[in-house]
Amino acid sequence: MTSSSPQSISARDLHEWLSSGSALQLVDVREHSELEIASFPGEVEHLPLSESNLWLSDLPARLTTNKPIVVICHAGIRSRNFGCWLLEQGPDYDVWNLEGGIHAWSVEVDPSVPRY
């Protein structure tokens, strides 16, 4: 991917992608308190932005260039910013941003996920 911005994906399209069994890496950049309110169902790499000093040095070991990375936050803004930054670090990453974040996931896919 040569773009400096992540590609956008809707909650419904992400749900279809996950349901198809495609290999993805989900990265949630929200804070611990946000995950306590509304966690994303499924396996997620949690990289809270406020704690970047704790995970930044081992980021290459945590993320892969072998499969698409979908970044998640509350509304899609922090995740987009992280996705842009990630593409600057490694242009080989295939980065997607969940439009509307976990809020959109709750509204469009899984209403059992609390909104906040």
Which residues are known catalytic residues?
73
What CA–CA distance (Å, rounded) separates 91 from 109? 31
Separation of CA 77 from chain center:
11
Residue pair 9/99 in contact by the 8 Å Cβ criterion: yes
